[in-house]
A and B are shown apart, each in its own frame.
Chain A
């Protein structure tokens, strides 16, 4: 099992407040890793470190290493734009751009300078198919993406992230703003996509984590308490506190 990404002793400080106290975690390729933990435990913050979305925040200091294919993404030679093409992201709220579905999915390719119309069309179709939204959009690709339902919008966003063929896709509670039916559709989409991409997902929904993930990492108060295969974690966690959390005794 090769690791696509690996975090080594990642610490993050907002001013004097340390939000992450040294997290080390490896992400195996073509697997879905779920980051779970109570609100405010730092799991979303950690996720955003993985494609450097925290860089804009004032007064932030990140130490440690995050290796993507063996290279530290916080190294000064790393180009942010290139990094984000390899590590895509889907947010909690569906965030389609206010223009057509086609332009939404083609966005990443176009800003990367792809001019070849056929390639763009082909990629858009492929990505929409991968995100299991092709049937609902194929007849109205020119329709404004905002005109679709929340679940459809989120799948368009997933298609948009997939269109640039990232190595890793970060998912920040991708279903928490959606109804149960849309959520389960997204889950099915993810299950199917696991063969091709590496996913790292933050979720509050423990059942969801148990259904779709291969590896689970439990974070609390900015620390990685335990990580392991989903089966191990849910059936025989090594630590009492993990057991308590997974069984709903707190959090």
Chain B
């Protein structure tokens, strides 16, 4: 302690000796007045900082472990189909013969893969023009109360549980499709119509963000060059927002691809290659939800379902990757 104080005294004396501006006095500074212990120990704030940082890192580590565990678990079981049960991976991807209970030569998921992509793409295809129209209305043509109302409606659409969508689909859309197109009313068309409403708010709100991100000056510059509102929208706003609209569509597709319950209630759940839009079919998710209670852990039918889950997981990674790719490009 005495040593420290001496050191400090030395520093102060040196400073006084070296000072170039004579009228500045170091009077108030006396090593005896300084609590060296307090200054050399971590303060309360520093300790709080350590705590805060520690808690944050702990949370990150736990979540990281959880994610690794989920991926590992799904991967392990999903791959067991191919490793333990010796199912040919090409057979799994390209065969439409789905009857895992009958042995390893009957594990073909192609019908479900095709159906999943069909409902996803069709839903996005129908939803995108409407989303862009609604987003344009909300950002370019209207402001104030009506926009807020639309915003709340969109948020409401997001908040409706998928079982409710499924129920409405079952009670309204299925009979309607049955009446118009014949058949049972279950199928890709019905599922698409339900998914269209479900992805609409996702695509719309992200598209609204895309339009809002475009500087007002760009629109003004365009109108100052004699462009009408529609010309400005068509040539500047849509063009400038293009990559972000793509991102919005992909987020919508990810939602549609992963939706299980509402689709399961409306698609008919028959694992058949879809040759038209109004015959019963099954997606990866609908097959997973409808069959998971019917298999025994560790058996081939169970592992086959895990493989479907793995495929869904990989697809969601692909969607995320696409979003990043587009983000980087723009």
Contacts and interface: CB of A to CB of B under 8 A. Distances in A.
Contacts of A164: 225-226
A95 B226 contact: no
B235 A111 contact: yes
Nearest to B227: A111
A82 B225 CA distance: 10
B236 interface: yes
A85 interface: yes
10 contacts: A88-B224, A88-B225, A97-B236, A107-B227, A111-B222, A111-B225, A111-B227, A111-B228, A111-B235, A164-B226
Given A51-B224, A164-B226, A91 B217 contact: yes
Nearest to B143: A58
Interface of B: 215, 217-218, 220-228, 231, 235-236, 239-240
Given A81-B228, A97-B236, A107 B220 contact: no
Residue from B218, B222, B226 whose CB has the most chain A CB atoms within 10 Å = B226
Contacts of A112: 226
A108 interface: yes
Contacts of A93: 215, 217
A157 B221 contact: yes
Q: How large is the interface on A (under 10, 10 to 19, 20 to 34, 35 or more residues)?
A: 20 to 34
A157 B231 CA distance: 18
Nearest to B218: A95
A98 interface: yes
Lowest 5 CB-CB distances: which A-B pairs, in order? A89-B224, A108-B225, A84-B226, A85-B226, A95-B221
Q: Which of A98, A110, A161, A164 has the most CB of B within 10 A?
A: A98
A85 B221 CA distance: 12
Nearest to B240: A98
A111 B226 contact: yes
A91 B220 contact: yes
Given A91-B220, A97-B218, A108 B226 contact: yes
B4 to A, nearest CB: 52
Most B-side CB within 10 Å, residue of A107, A110, A160: A107
Contacts of B239: 97-99
Given A91-B224, A95-B221, 5 more contacts: A51-B224, A97-B221, A107-B227, A111-B227, A157-B221
A53 B220 contact: yes
Contact of B222 (A85, A88, A97, A99): A97
Contact of B240 (A91, A97, A157): A97
A97 B226 CA distance: 15
Contacts of A110: 235
Nearest to B330: A98
B217 A107 contact: no
Nearest to A97: B236
Contacts of A98: 239-240
A108 B235 CA distance: 11
A164 B228 CA distance: 15
Nearest to B242: A98
A95 to B, nearest CB: 4
Contacts of A111: 222, 225-228, 231, 235
